[in-house]
Amino acid sequence: MESRRRIIRQHIKSALQKTLLPLCYKLSMKKDIDKRLVILADLNCKTTPDSMELIKCELEKRGYNVKEMYCDLSDCGMVSGLKYMLGFMKAYANARAVFICNYFMPVTACKKRKGTAVVQLWHSCGALKKFGYDSEEDISSHFKGSVTRNFDLITVSSQQCVKPFMSAFRLGEGIVRPLGVSRTDVFFDESYNEQCRREFFERYPDCKGKKIVLYAPTFRGNALDCYCVGEEYAAELEKKLGDGWKVIIKMHPRLHSRLTNCDMETNRLMPVADVLVTDYSSLVFEYALYKKPWVIFAPDIESYSSGRSFYLDYKTDMPAPVVTEGEKLAQAVLDCEKSFDSQGAERFTEKYMSACDGRSTERIIDSVLGKERF
């Protein structure tokens, strides 16, 4: 039944792409593009995504008119969603640039004007699990449109990630470029890291003097039908580790899990954590910048790898223990600081995160808009 509904949704999206949205775009075009108008758009949130926060600040600093257009399609009706898309097309028709950080169907609905640049920031670093056209779970074979039409630039975290993104999006040379990932710039700012630590311990004073484990898994399935594996062991982890530890649980937002016990954003918890426990989340790439140990807890790794599969080899590329049995998770966490492969982590970071150096935001904007200021 869910598969049938998904097919119907894809046909509706395809119809919108081919008719109503292109018509709205064409009717909204003015003679000249607004050189100061830059749009930030996303269909998965209602406020500025963390992937765009630094982009927004830098654009405003340069004098651009930043128009934020966000809508969570999973939490709005069909009429509201359509109204949002038509509003986007009207603005898109006259914008200097559009920045997105996920799949965004409206931007691909028709051939855009030459003077408008479309930048895909993407929402994750590295290249871990297969996505895009490389994964049926990500883009259904029933979808007949294009998710990359009109893209001028896709930014990635290293040269190593260029080919996986080219494959996932079925693109040729030149569009995928290792300019870095904007949101990682703050990780190189020690004042930001200290602010995160101070905020955390002020809000959770019982964690002072304890070792902090951050458990942050991704979800399986697709955005409309998702689940997690092994969370019951995470719920028992703190008790097994002992009094000197605190376990912060951050389940993926799409799971709506009651296990989540901290309302700080995951990115702001990375400077706080002593150990990360995750599975197939791209969070490992960002966390690696902090040069701290992590543990891969993946009870379903065999079935997952034979299904969706990866761009890297988990057992050879990942400088962290891979735990597949829940009973062994606590001991792996206790051992990981002593057994942490710091040299392996350095190689991992260099391979997958070398373009992230604290200056990605500036590079990305310069590559699209030059150094112009208003």
Per-residue pLDDT tens digits for 242-273: 889 999 988 766 656 677 788 899 999 999 99
Domains of the chain: which residue ranges? 2-184+358-369, 190-353
pLDDT tens per residue across span 146-204: 889 999 999 999 999 999 999 999 998 999 999 999 999 999 999 999 999 999 999 99
Residue 307 predicted with pLDDT over 70: no
Q: Rounded to whole angstroms, how far apart are CA atoms 252 and 228?
A: 9
pLDDT at 1 over 60: no
Measured in Å, how far apart are the chain's first and last C-alpha atoms?
Answer: 53
**What CA–CA distance (Å, rounded) separates 160 from 127?**
8
Place of tokens 């002020």: 202
List all residues 6 or more positions away from 279 whose beta carbon is below 8 Å from its beta carbon. Answer: 217, 218, 229, 230, 296, 297, 298
9 — pLDDT class (breaks 50, 70, 90): low
Phi then psi for 283, rounded to 5 degrees?
A: -55, -30
Q: Which of 92, 101, 117 is nearest to 21 (CA)?
A: 92
pTM of this structure: 0.88
- pLDDT at residue 14 greater than cutoff 70: no
CATH number for region 190-353 = 3.40.50.12580
- Name the more confident of 38 and 131: 38
Specify the pLDDT at position 183: 95
Distance CA 23, CA 89 (A): 9
Residue with tokens 């919108």: 16
The stretch 347-370 carries a mean pLDDT of: 96
Residue 100, beta-bridge partner list? 41, 120
Mean pLDDT (the chain) is: 88
CATH of 2-184+358-369, one of 3.40.50.300, 3.40.50.11820, 3.40.50.2000, 1.10.3210.10: 3.40.50.11820
> How much of the chain, in percent, has pLDDT values that exceed 90?
56
What is the pLDDT at residue 13? 64
Gap between the Cα atoms of 139 and 136, Å rounded = 5
Q: Give the pLDDT confidence score for residue 227 in this predicted structure.
A: 56
**Amino acid letter for position 258:** R
Rounded-to-integer distance, Cα 82 and Cα 77, Å:
9
Give the number of other CB atoms < 10 A from CB of residue 252. Answer: 17
pLDDT of residue 3: 57
Distance CA 339, CA 323 (A): 14
Tokens of 194: 């200290």
Label residue 79 by pLDDT band (50, 70, 90). Answer: confident
108, 145 contact by CB (below 8 A): yes
Alpha helix stretches (DSSP H) within 283-359:
283-288, 301-307, 314-317, 329-339, 342-353
Q: How does pLDDT run across 54-70, given as a tens digit for each residue?
A: 999 999 999 999 999 99
- Asked if the model's pLDDT at residue 5 lies above 80, the reply is no
Confidence of residue 295 (pLDDT cuts 50, 70, 90): very high
pLDDT at 184: 97
pLDDT at 69: 97
Fold matches, 2-184+358-369 and 190-353: yes
Would you say 364 and 38 are in contact if contact means Cβ atoms under 8 Å apart?
Answer: no
The predicted pLDDT at position 228 comes to 61
Whether residue 140 is predicted with pLDDT greater than 70 in this model: the reply is no
Average pLDDT for 333-348? 90
Contact 220, 229 (CB under 8 A): yes
Residue 33: its pLDDT value, please?
95
Cβ neighbourhood burial of 206 (10 Å; 0-12, 13-18, 19+): exposed
| 6 band by pLDDT with thresholds 50, 70 and 90 | low
* Length of the chain (residues): 374
Neighbours of 22 (CB within 10 A): 15
Cα-Cα-Cα-Cα torsion 233, 269, 217, 47, nearest 10 degrees, comes to: 140
Q: What are the tens digits of pLDDT across the range 314-338?
A: 778 889 888 888 889 899 999 988 8
Q: Taking the CB of residue 236, how many other CB atoms lie within 10 A of it? A: 14
